[in-house]
Amino acid sequence: MGQVILKKGRDEPVRRHHPWVFSGAIDTRRSSIDDVQPGDVIDVRDVGGGFLAQGYYNPHSQIRVRLLTWDQNDPVGPAWWRVRIARSIARRDWLATDPDTTCYRLINAENDELPGLVVDRYGDYLVVQALTLGVDVVKQTVVQALVDLLQPAGIYERSDAGVRELEGLADVSGLLYGKALPDLVECRENGMALLVDPYQGHKTGFYLDQRDSRRWILTHPLVQGKRVLNAFSYSGSFGVAAALNGAESVTNVDSSEAALDLVTALMNANKLHDFPVENVPGDVFEVLRYYREMEQTFDAIILDPPKFAHSRGQIDAATRGYKDINLLALELLEPGGLLLTFSCSSHVDADLFQKVVFGASEDAAVHAQIIGWFAQPADHPVLLTFPEGRYLKGLACLVT
Ligand code: SAH
């Protein structure tokens, strides 16, 4: 087995079970990696040669090793993957028994102690995302374990996430097992009907990570009777939740016309045939400015933008973006208006995000209070040793 030796003082994160070893931590001269194939499992050792952990190796990635086990006598082979996959699924047993929610994340990569592997359930189907080379090379093992444990009708691969480029990998999509998935997979979330496009849909087809926020919108009395602006709407699921809860009207805004094309089917699947909904294709930054110019107001505004900060270096630009849209939204709200505002940038933490929203309220010259806090749901856990896993945060604010 190959091994990498860490430089002096670089073993601490590994001892604390952080799952990543960066290239800069490795003493290349003392490591034995000549016979190691990309994706192979290797040992990680400290400066004195003492065993620390085992992980899979990728010479093309800045994250050179992703750690799998800290036990020397825990061989990483097909049986190992099977046990870890079974554990991750078993941790969701409480969710699997709920007939009202048939779509959720089964495996959340590092945070489920399965670095690089994402598996989402959509009704009878699974969508798999391999984010790393180490997972690419065990894909068949993963598929076999999923088939044995869950007997899905079909498994589709959506390994087309941007981060694969950092691993030196091209995008891959295709059927891995069983029946071809329908163009729109029907599933349920808290009783709401969902239609998920596994082929062209974002992420693995849908934003499963917003389930708790959707539930708030579906059930909170403050949404009732409101004229809702759902900005960055994707296929309009927040709007459907608001409509089901008794909102007066919904305006969805998204730059993706393909996403907006799904709205009508999603409304109809929830028997909202005659509900007043408007779909506006366009750039939210521009559309909000247009509404301000037209003096158009709303009673509730949802802002669920895509990730603005992809690295630390982008934090300043991201906060300017968040401030801009939150400022505009607060200007479009009447007193008593509700702002539901989100950020999915892990580099912008919850404190910074709250400060940005505060800054926006100052510039908009409005006072607002926080009445609710949002985060990623329990099927998107954060491993305590891997705080990077926390990314989604949101605030419910009431304009006073
Ligand atoms: N709330 C949605 C998820 C939103 S994801 C849900 O629960 O399903 C972010 C969305 O913003 C994506 O649909 C993307 O197409 C859209 N988007 C990204 N940049 C945009 C922009 N500048 N203007 C409008 N929409 C944008």
pLDDT of residue 13: 98
Q: What is the CATH number of the domain that holds 16?
A: 2.30.130.10
Same domain? 95 vs 140:
yes
Whether 234 is in a domain gets the answer: yes
Question: Residue 255 C-alpha to ligand 1 middle, in angstroms?
Answer: 7
Same domain? 157 vs 84:
yes
Same domain? 178 vs 244:
no
User: Pick from 13, 48, 69: which residue ends a domain?
Assistant: 69
Same domain? 240 vs 359:
yes
Nearest residue by C-alpha to atom 3 in ligand 1: 234
Ligand 1 atom nearest 238 alpha carbon: 7
Whether 201 is in a domain gets the answer: no
Whether 320 is in a domain gets the answer: yes
Whether 193 is in a domain gets the answer: no
User: Pick from 123, 147, 182: which residue ends a domain?
Assistant: 182
Catalytic positions are 344
Q: Is the CB of 283 under 6 A from ligand 1?
A: yes
Q: Is the CB of 286 under 6 A from ligand 1?
A: no
Q: Is the CB of 238 under 6 A from ligand 1?
A: yes
> Distance between CA 71 and CA 335 in Å, rounded?
58
CA angle 131, 110, 197 (to 5 degrees): 50
> Distance between CA 204 and CA 212 in Å, rounded?
18
Same domain? 158 vs 214:
no
**Segments forming the whole domain that contains residue 63:** 3-69
What's this model's pTM, rounded to 2 decimal places?
A: 0.97
pLDDT of residue 111: 98
Q: What is the mean pLDDT of each run of 10 residues along the chain (400 residues)?
A: 96 98 97 95 98 98 98 98 98 96 98 98 98 98 98 98 95 98 98 98 97 98 98 98 98 98 98 98 98 98 98 97 98 96 97 98 98 98 97 98
Overall number of domains in the chain: 3
Whether 190 is in a domain gets the answer: no
Whether 197 is in a domain gets the answer: no
Same domain? 246 vs 372:
yes
Ligand 1 atom nearest 234 alpha carbon: 13
Question: Residue 305 C-alpha to ligand 1 middle, in angstroms?
Answer: 5
Same domain? 226 vs 251:
yes
Same domain? 168 vs 289:
no
What is the full DSSP assignment across 109-142?
Answer: GGGGT-TTEEEEEETTEEEEEE-SHHHHTTHHHH
- Our mutation pick for probing the ligand 1 site, out of 103, 196, 234, counting the most ligand atoms within 8 A of Cβ, is 234
Q: Is the CB of 306 under 6 A from ligand 1?
A: yes
List, in sequence order, the alpha helices (H) in the chain. Answer: 12-15, 78-90, 93-96, 133-136, 139-150, 211-219, 237-244, 257-260, 263-269, 284-294, 315-332, 350-364
Same domain? 82 vs 65:
no
Whether 199 is in a domain gets the answer: no
User: Pick from 182, 197, 217: which residue ends a domain?
Assistant: 182
pLDDT of residue 1: 83
Q: Is the CB of 215 under 6 A from ligand 1?
A: no
Question: Residue 80 C-alpha to ligand 1 middle, in angstroms?
Answer: 38
